[in-house]
Amino acid sequence: DTGVSQNPRHKITKRGQNVTFRCDPISEHNRLYWYRQTLGQGPEFLTYFQNEAQLEKSRLLSDRFSAERPKGSFSTLEIQRTEQGDSAMYLCASSLIEATQYFGPGTRLTVL
Amino acid sequence: GESVGLHLPTLSVQEGDNSIINCAYSNSASDYFIWYKQESGKGPQFIIDIRSNMDKRQGQRVTVLLNKTVKHLSLQIAATQPGDSAVYFCAENYPGNTPLVFGKGTRLSVIA
């Protein structure tokens, strides 16, 4: 499968713990995006990278959230000191510049 | 603020009938529109896209219509099948803004 992959698919954690998610984009895509989706809503943009540079961050991305793409390939999204309001599906997408975004299967986070 | 929205949250159709899912957008500067299909527990799947210099685009069993005068987008699915049951999102993009802006989605239920 050469699509976008995300790991883990599900994560259950206790409030206050840190979690890290990984996204592997389609190999030739230089843009990588993170979105968050809550039940019944459309995905909301969090941040995106062009190669290894983080070019934009949403106001939704609080100080507890950090994303990296160190080698311009895979990316990680870390949430520190998780809160119950962080429970959501975290989606990763990738694209070529100015092209269609293709999404991964998502990581569903549940904070107890 | 300006956003993408959908007229109908749910749509039920008989198998074999045609489906029409509507979407209103409010940003007149938007120049790129995408329809995604999302099945339960999965990430959004690209269906079809259209740029603002077109008013119609056809794919396999799907057609997207764009009416820039009234800022309206629709997705037509011909001969709807049970496998078409999902939530459908329209998303828009405008110059200078890389992330997609999604609406809330329409749930399509196909009755066998």
The answer to whether B23 faces chain A, any CB pair under 8 Å, is no
If you measure CA to CA, which chain A residue comes closest to B5?
Answer: A42
Q: Tell me the torsion sign for CA atoms B52, B107, A10, B45.
A: negative
Q: Which long-range contacts (CB under 8 A, 24 or more apart) does B70-74 make?
A: B71/B24, B71/B25, B71/B26, B71/B28, B72/B22, B72/B23, B72/B24, B72/B25, B73/B22, B73/B23, B73/B24, B73/B25, B73/B33, B73/B35, B74/B20, B74/B21, B74/B22, B74/B23
Confidence class of residue B104 from pLDDT cuts 50, 70 and 90?
Answer: confident
Confidence class of residue B4 from pLDDT cuts 50, 70 and 90?
Answer: low
Compare CB distances from A42 to B46, B98, B102 and report the shortest one's residue.
B102
Tell whether the model's pLDDT for residue B8 goes beyond 60.
no
pLDDT in 10s for each residue of chain A, 112 residues: 579 999 999 999 999 999 999 999 999 999 999 999 998 889 999 999 999 999 999 988 899 999 999 988 999 999 999 999 999 999 999 998 878 999 999 999 999 9
- Strand ranges of the sheet holding B62-67, from the earlier edge strand across to the other edge: B4-5, B19-25, B72-77, B62-67, B56-58
Place of tokens 């008989």: B14
Distances (CA, A) of A109 to A9, A68, B54: 9, 19, 39
What pLDDT does B1 receive?
35
If you measure CA to CA, which chain A residue comes closest to B87?
Answer: A40
The answer to whether B99 faces chain A, any CB pair under 8 Å, is yes
